[in-house]
Structure 1
Amino acid sequence: MADRVEFELVSPQRLVKAQLVDMVVIPCSEGDIGVLPGHTPLIGTVRPGVVDMYENGKVSESIFVSGGFVEVTPDRCTLLAEEATYIHDLDQGTAQTRLDAGRQDLEKASSEIEKANAEASIKTAEAMLAALGVSSAAH
């Protein structure tokens, strides 16, 4: 068994990250999962949140994802993200604007599809703000 996991993070635009890691933690819809070498195979849905990559027992890099799918095998973890942004590239103003727009879209939604899209935008913006350590409840 390998002592590292081959991690790939892919967005529709590009390959965001491809590297060997000690562990990767993925924000899945049922809760965060930590993927170590030898992990049981699984396919899951990813919720908006932060992906943490670990090296030598500590987080070496963090990337925000807005959702997607993950496939895990004993030696590999592939995350297909709707969008991915390095934590240091997140902007509080942009996230807040996105949250406000999502709330406005929700108020004027006239179909279930529009409502679902607005709710997804709100969840993503709230997760972005949480990743930045900002509460979205005050706004």
Structure 2
Amino acid sequence: MSTFLLEIVTPERKVYAEPANMIVVKGVEGELGILPNHIPMVTPLRIAAVTVKKQGAKDEQIAVHGGFMEVRRDKVVILAESAELPGQINLERAQAAKGRAEQRLAAKKDQIDFKRAELALQRAMTRINVGGGQ
């Protein structure tokens, strides 16, 4: 089965660079499955886990917090605002952030705080989902 190189890069560092048989990401228009030789494209990503499928190996999950994905024939590059591998996630901190975001959402102050709290909740839930499956 053919593969492609998946790179996940943040402004600070390269988080991931390995061959994959398939990846599943959440774009702003919905979920996308990318296979080798996919048509080239660029799309914005939601705050969500990226699932990496490798032949004969357990699926890997990487928490990706927004950004863009560029698909080329033999390579996929995800330029993320931030990204974390499961072992890098502090679950206690993520649970605390989730609680704070839920409190801010319940308070329903102004629209800006509501949107920031909503994004913070999405990041916390992604971290919990990825980090909890270690």
What band does the TM-score fall into relative to the shorter chain? 0.7 to 0.9
Which residue does 1:21 correspond to in 2?
A: 20
- Compute the RMSD of aligned alpha carbons: 2.3
Using the TM superposition, give the Cα deviation of residue 57 of structure 1 relative to its aligned residue in structure 2, in angstroms: 4.5
Q: Is the CA contact 2:48–2:122 (under 8 Å) kept in the aligned structure 1?
A: no
**For 2:31 and 2:86, how far apart are their aligned partners in 1?**
18
Amino acid at match of 1:26: V
Query: Within 1, Cα distance between the matches of 2:28 and 2:58?
Result: 21
For the 8 Å contact 1:52–1:59, the answer to whether it is kept is no
Which deviations, in whole Å up to 9, do the C-alpha atoms of 1:27-66 show, x marking residues without a partner?
Answer: 3233332211110122222222222222225435321112
* 8 Å Cα contact 2:5-2:19 kept in structure 1: yes
Identify unmatched segments of 5+ residues in structure 2: none
Instruction: Give the drift of 1:128.
Output: 2.4
TM-score, normalization by structure 1 = 0.78
Between 21-30 and 61-70, report the one with greater CA deviation.
21-30
Quote the residue 2:98 is aligned against.
99
Q: 1:91 to 1:108 in 2, by over 3 A?
A: same
Alignment of 1:7-18 (within 5 A): 7-18=6-17
- The number of residue pairs the alignment matches comes to 131
**Cα distance in 1 for residues equivalent to 2:109 and 2:44:** 25
Which residue in 1 is equivalent to 2:120? 121
- The structure, 1 or 2, with the larger RCO (C-alpha pairs under 8 Å, 6+ apart) is 2
Q: Which residue of 1 aligns with 2:74?
A: 75
Give me the whole-angstrom Cα distance separating, in 1, the residues matched to 2:109 and 2:10: 28
Q: Which residue of 2 aligns with 1:6?
A: 5
Asked if structure 2 preserves the Cα contact closer than 8 Å seen for 1:41 and 1:71, the reply is yes
TM-score for the superposition, normalised by structure 2: 0.81
Identity %: 31
Which has the higher mean CA deviation after the structures are superposed, 97-106 or 79-88? 97-106
CA offset at residue 87 of structure 1?
1.3
